[in-house]
Amino acid sequence: MPTKKAFVVDDNRNSAEVLSKMLMMLDIEPLICLGPREAIQRLSGDLPDVILLDVNMPGISGLEVVRYIRRDPRIANLPVIIVSSDAQTIEVANAISAGANVFLPKPVNFENLELALKDALAP
């Protein structure tokens, strides 16, 4: 039985499902949010242990979601892993300055995901 929960926030269902399968192999229960609005709504309820968050989504970007999380005292310390296909140095810097704990480039491989989770979930 998984001991941790993760929100997987991506507007692409296939990408979210691939990440979810990897999380399950790491004994983490994934909860897919198909977009930033759904993620923000879910954050008002049961909180995950970590969020894996795509950057490029319609309407609200992943970076705006990170800033929202960091402004809310109730969830400000929630670990956030940005997952993006745009891994240029400036994009990584933008993600970290917005408050992300870790930047993980797409396509995500299992070993990098495992390392990113260990880093983000470290006490």
The pairing of strands 28-33 and 4-9 is parallel
Domains of the chain in sequence order:
4-121 (3.40.50.2300)
* Alpha helices (H) along the chain: 13-25, 36-42, 62-71, 89-98, 110-121
Flag whether the pTM goes above 0.85: yes
Per-residue pLDDT in tens (0 to 9) along the chain, 123 residues: 668 999 999 999 999 999 999 999 999 999 999 999 999 999 999 899 999 999 999 999 999 999 999 999 999 999 999 999 887 888 999 999 999 999 999 999 999 999 999 999 987
